[in-house]
Amino acid sequence: MQAMQVLSRFGELAWFKLPSESHPVYGYPQVPYMGWRYASPQERVAQLIEDAVRALPTQVEWTLDRTRRNWLLLPTRILNEAQGLDNPAFAEVVHLINVQDQEFCFRALSDFELIIERLRQVSIPED
């Protein structure tokens, strides 16, 4: 799994989740996002990831949310429309975007590949 390997460069992963890029039954593209937790999270790693994502010319705006135990990288639109990660509507918002806005899903998937490739190239400073 490419994204997991890239994130492992920054530290030992204790947990990782990346939904499928396409619907498992119907095959349509789905909006990408990924969640993970490092065994020993470090502020400098979070800053490296945030800076790398922010510097990219993405088609949609992205957010690295670290307000909870697990970090989540997702299109900002999902956070805005769900009114936060704690809202039970989060999964419904993702589903609605998946079925109603395929153009957004395509743009976000393209961005996601760009983000993963950029994170693969980020040089990690020695301690």
Q: pLDDT digit string (tens) for 22-34? A: 887 888 899 999 9
Q: What is the pLDDT of residue 21?
A: 83
Domain ranges in the chain are 2-120
**Could you tell me which residue, 61 or 125, shows the higher pLDDT?**
61
Give the rounded percent of residues in the chain with a pLDDT score beyond 90.
74
Owner of token pair 């998937």 = 109
Instruction: Answer yes or no: are the C-beta atoms of 70 and 36 closer than 8 Å.
Output: yes
Query: Mean pLDDT for the chain?
Result: 92
Predicted confidence (pLDDT) per residue in 33-67, tens digit: 999 999 999 999 999 999 999 999 999 999 999 98
Q: What percent of the chain has pLDDT over 70?
A: 98
Q: First and final CA of the chain: distance in angstroms?
A: 27
